[in-house]
Amino acid sequence: MPPAKFAQRKFVSVDPSKCTGCGICEYACSQEKGEIASNPLLSRIRVVRMKPLFNVALACRACEDAKCVTACPEKALSQHEASGILMVSEKKCKGCDWCVQACPHGGIMIHSDTGLAVACDLCDGEPQCVEFCPEEALELVATDEEAEKRVSDTIAKLPEETERITNIVKNKDWKPVLADAEKRSEKVSEKLAALSKKGQSKKQK
């Protein structure tokens, strides 16, 4: 196997079997990157909800063969030589959207306010989306194989999960489902409170 192009490559990967589609990662990201209140439309990670069984969060993978970089007609995109993190030249970027169309992972988007391309930069090594995910569905991985395995493992379990949910509905066995929902709500509340506290602290600085 040839050596990795980016020796320090890391990117945020989701475990769809854990992701509930709550969207807190989007709020955490936009709060970290913005100067105003959290707005998921400005997030560099996006939640795709294929409910009720499959939710994923998409972010830049710092690809070794980054198609977004190749596709950019303005040569506005480059990558950090060690980590592969995508860098966007604000002077060159025209917001043409070619990079968005070229990315096979949904990891780059056009900022709705600036009109420029943006992508995950790992928050200087401490991605806020990972920190505030209430289900611990996000983590840093180093290879595409690691990320894809998490998705394929979840897909393999979908028939079993579909049968489980079908039986719950048929039998009206709501008690364990409601108990699980309550636990999830408690986790979400805790993370939202922590996120709000951090946002207030940021405003005071």
The chain-wide mean pLDDT, for the chain, equals: 93
- Dist CA 164 CA 64 (whole Å): 39
80 within some domain:
no
Q: How many residues does the chain have?
A: 205
Nearest by Cα to 99 from 112, 89, 109, 90: 109
Structural domains of the chain, count: 1
For a pLDDT cut of 90, what percent of the chain falls above it?
83
- Dist CA 42 CA 113 (whole Å): 8
173 within some domain:
yes
4 within some domain:
no
pLDDT of residue 3: 72
What is the residue range of 160's domain?
11-59+120-204
Phi, psi at 163, each rounded to 5°: -65, -40
| CB-based burial, 69-81: b 16+ in 10 Å, e otherwise | bebbeeebbebee
Q: What is the pLDDT of residues 12-24, one digit of tens each?
A: 999 999 999 999 9
pLDDT of residue 39: 83
- Dist CA 112 CA 127 (whole Å): 21
Residue type, 169: V
**Confidence band for 51, pLDDT divided at 50, 70 and 90:** confident
Nearest by Cα to 76 from 87, 66, 84: 87
Q: Are 131 and 154 in contact (CB under 8 A)?
A: no
Is pLDDT of 10 > 90?
A: yes
193 within some domain:
yes
Q: What is the pLDDT of residues 158-170, one digit of tens each?
A: 999 999 999 999 9
The pTM assigned to this predicted structure is 0.90
- Dist CA 87 CA 94 (whole Å): 14
